A and B are shown apart, each in its own frame.
Chain A
Amino acid sequence: MDKSIFAAMPSLTPTLGFASMIGLGLFSLALSYAVKTLLVRNTHDFIIADRRVGFGFGVGSVIAVWTWAMAVMMSSAMTYQWGLSGLFWFVVPNGFAVMAMIPFARILRKNMPEGYTISEFIEYRFSRSKVATAIVTVTMIFGIILEILINLKGTSVVVSTVFGIDWKVATVVGIICVLAYSYFGGLWTSVMTGTLNTLMITVPAAIVVAAVYAVIPGGSEAVFKAAGEADARNLSVLRPDAAAGFGITLAFGLLAATVSDQTFWQKVWAIKSRDVGRVFLWSGALFYPIPICLGMLGLVGIAYGLKPSDFGGDIVAVGPYIVSHIGLGLTLVLLYVLVILAACYSTIDGASAALSSVVAVDIVKRYFPQTSESSLFVITKLSVLLGGIVATLIVLSGLDFTTLVLTTYALKTSILLPLVLSILWPKTNMVGFVGGIVLAIAVGMPIYATAGELIGTLSIVAISGLTVLVAGLIGGKDFDLAGLRRVGDEVSAPAE
């Protein structure tokens, strides 16, 4: 297939780029202000939406926070790199990770109905152990900051590439747009704008991908034939090198990304109790088509024989490059940018809302319990701004994220099995929980550094899990999870 079909579009000006970013931000701000007026009166409403998030908003918002801007691009990139095996290993664990929350969410919502954060659960689960609680709180904060900065970085790269805007300016404009509306309504705002963003991700993605295949001479048949001729393995989902290369590691990483993430736990306690299980079922199942749809752009890249050097060297850019260079109309290219912006904004506002719950419950109420409701409300809202500012400064500094990514990865993967066992296995004790995490980092991370991702990840998971099991079997005492029903509401709504 002749790749001279790809050409830059001169009509993609910086003004259009700013208009897209600010326009979506202003729309969300208007909705946010209405939400604040109608549904948010205090800290309890701001961080947990009065535990009244219904089924529809639950499904839409969980899909939105799980659809990262990078994931929109990575699905195309993994298909481009590994063929359909890349898409298989990227997609299948992704939806499963969301549905894996169901048993844990049901157990904790049932046994600790007044909870707010997973760190709060650990506090009561291990007799107010300061060490265990601090480890989980720090992990959640690191994870949230990383979510914000990765989405910010990914989006600034796309916007600067497509519209020629300086990436630093794009970063600042992007974060101002998100924080401006996140500040007002907290979780309710995140849930509602996120739900709308799910619409802005799915329908435009379907139309844009179909349009790309419509402009290709011969359409899907030509792409199918050319991709198979390039390498027959491109059309197979059974490439073992894809599984070993990134698939298995990614599967564990994705599980850790949901189960060890306050963004999801906040929703567990905010969604109506009767809907918690089915929200995560529907969200996981309905998430699948998004990366499957966008992954089909990767086959186009293979069929045309595109090289990474054609689009700047980073394979993540293969999707944006195809859409903005294959000859689609301006409206369709803007729709694709909208998909990425919607994914970015919804993930950042979800992470900001999660940060506000950690700050309110795990920092202010824990260490300064006498803080008044009015002060707590102000601090909680300011924490949304603070998280965004910190992430922006890291992105703008040009620092290598590697240390932060590795630290967060180590903490989240190390915490995965100890956290799961603390929910499912009554014999799990504080020594095993803390020891498992510390040993997994101390021993597992050096293995990760020397033996590679696959062996390193399996080692971290095995060390943390085995330590909890051994300590639990030696310790012998059973914890009564049902006793957590006595835990009161830390940030209950003040009396009218």
Chain B
Amino acid sequence: MYIFITVVGIAVTLFFLAGFWRGLQNAIAEYRGGAPERSDVPDYGYGGLAAVSVIASAVIIAGAGFSPAMIYAGPLLALVTAAGCGLAFFVEQKG
């Protein structure tokens, strides 16, 4: 599992850095472009998704009390966090 997590960790790091580079380029381009920012705030409340993530975190912690394999869910999900941050750069809209 250690080798697997290390290899996936390296891949996730590269993905994250690619996203970071994209985000940095976007930020500089927008700053230089100087176009006024929109001020609209979408109406989504995100209550359902927030509830799902709260419940999921509780289930994962509880799961570590039922199966030793679930102990590795923490490290694997930490890689999901890094990947998620990288993904956020790719799904953001330019301008």
Contacts and interface: CB of A to CB of B under 8 A. Distances in A.
B88 A55 contact: yes
B19 A277 contact: no
Contacts of B77: 288-289, 292-293
A52 B30 contact: yes
Contacts of B61: 84, 87-88, 91-92, 237, 292, 295
Contacts of A52: 27, 30-31, 37
A138 B31 CA distance: 33
B85 A235 contact: no
Given A95-B53, A205-B75, A220 B44 contact: no
Contacts of B65: 84, 235-237
Contact of B49 (A196, A273, A285): A285
Contacts of A203: 9, 12-13, 16, 78-79, 82
Nearest to B46: A281
Interface stretch (A208-216, A316-324, A377-385): A208-216
Contact of A207 (B5, B19, B38, B89): B5
Interface in A39-53: 39, 50-53
A205 B75 CA distance: 7
Given A102-B50, A292-B61, A60 B85 contact: yes
B75 A220 contact: no
A199 B27 CA distance: 19
Contact of A288 (B9, B42, B57): B57
Interface string B25-36: 011101100000
A103 B46 CA distance: 9
A205 B45 CA distance: 32
Interface stretch (A19-27, A106-114, A351-359, A366-374): A106-114
B7 to A, nearest CB: 10
Contacts of A202: 78-79, 81-82, 85
Nearest to A276: B41
A432 interface: no
A198 interface: yes
Nearest to B91: A55
Contacts, number: 226
Interface in A271-307: 272-278, 281-282, 284-290, 292-296, 299
B52 to A, nearest CB: 8
The main secondary structure of chain A at its interface with chain B is helix
Chain A interface size, as a band, is 35 or more
Interface in B71-91: 71-82, 84-86, 88-91
A178 B85 CA distance: 23
A277 B74 contact: no
Contact of B85 (A56, A213, A225, A288): A56
Interface string A93-120: 0011001001100100110010000000
Given A205-B78, A285-B50, 18 more contacts: A55-B93, A60-B88, A88-B62, A102-B46, A199-B17, A199-B85, A203-B16, A207-B6, A210-B72, A220-B69, A235-B64, A273-B41, A277-B44, A277-B46, A282-B84, A285-B49, A286-B80, A292-B77
5 tightest Cβ-Cβ pairs between the two chains A and B: A56-B89, A289-B77, A55-B92, A293-B74, A235-B65
Interface of B: 1-2, 5-6, 9, 12-13, 16-17, 19-20, 22-24, 26-28, 30-31, 37-42, 44-46, 49-50, 53-54, 56-58, 60-62, 64-69, 71-82, 84-86, 88-93
